Amino acid sequence: MSYLAWIVLGLIAGFIGSKLVNKTGEGLILDIVLGIVGAVVGGWLAGFFGLSGVSGLNLYSIGIAVAGAVAVLLVYHAIRRAV
């Protein structure tokens, strides 16, 4: 996937993940960054469980990326509350 596709996928995943976790979002830049990290984490977790990872801009990849973004956001909020 190209860098632009990762940014678009990260934006979508970060936005949906932020709305699922805390209903308000974290801001555009942080949503993109956490979404991209979430896409990578989601792809890794999918591979760990024997599924295929993020393969492009399709619904399956968005679902995997959103699941990873939710996981990353939950960890982010837990660390932020602890500090």
- pLDDT of 36-83, one tens digit each? 888 888 888 888 888 876 777 788 888 888 888 888 888 888 888 887
Angle subtended by helix axes 3-21 and 59-82, to nearest 10: 60
* pLDDT tens sequence across 4-20: 777 788 788 888 888 88
Structure tokens at 61: 């990849």
User: Which pTM does this prediction carry?
Assistant: 0.80
53: left (phi over 0), alpha (psi -120 to 50) or beta: beta
Q: Where are the domains of the chain?
A: 3-82
Structure tokens at 82: 């602890």
Residue with tokens 């996981």: 71
- pLDDT band, residue 3 (cuts 50/70/90): confident
pLDDT for the residue 23:
73
Nearest-angstrom CA–CA distance, 34 and 58: 19
pLDDT for the residue 1:
62
